[in-house]
Amino acid sequence: MDQKFYTYRGYPLVRKKDTIYYGYMSDPFVVMMQIMSVKKTENGDIADKIKVYQMSTDPSVDPIKAFVKNTERDSLYDALDLAAAWLQRA
């Protein structure tokens, strides 16, 4: 079975509830984004606080030390844009 994923700037996006993983697990790093709060609008819900973490995919690394960078963004677009830049530089 061939799975299809949504992508942004060439990297796959996988979402489970309020957590989004961005990148390839076969690469040295992926980005995890946690939606911390959502704003209700007439057009639907919009994430307005997202924590962004760059993390190592190396299984031998201590899980606490796997988190390399972290920040917070006010929109999903800003979070994805930053995540794409982190992955391209890694």
> Where do we find the tokens 């030390």?
65
Q: What is the reported pTM?
A: 0.88
Amino acid 14: pLDDT? 95
Q: With cut-offs at 50, 70 and 90, classify the pLDDT of residue 90.
A: confident
Provide CB contacts within 8 A for 10, sequence distance 6+. Answer: none
Neighbours of 79 (CB within 10 A): 24
The percent of residues above 90 in pLDDT, for the chain, comes to 88
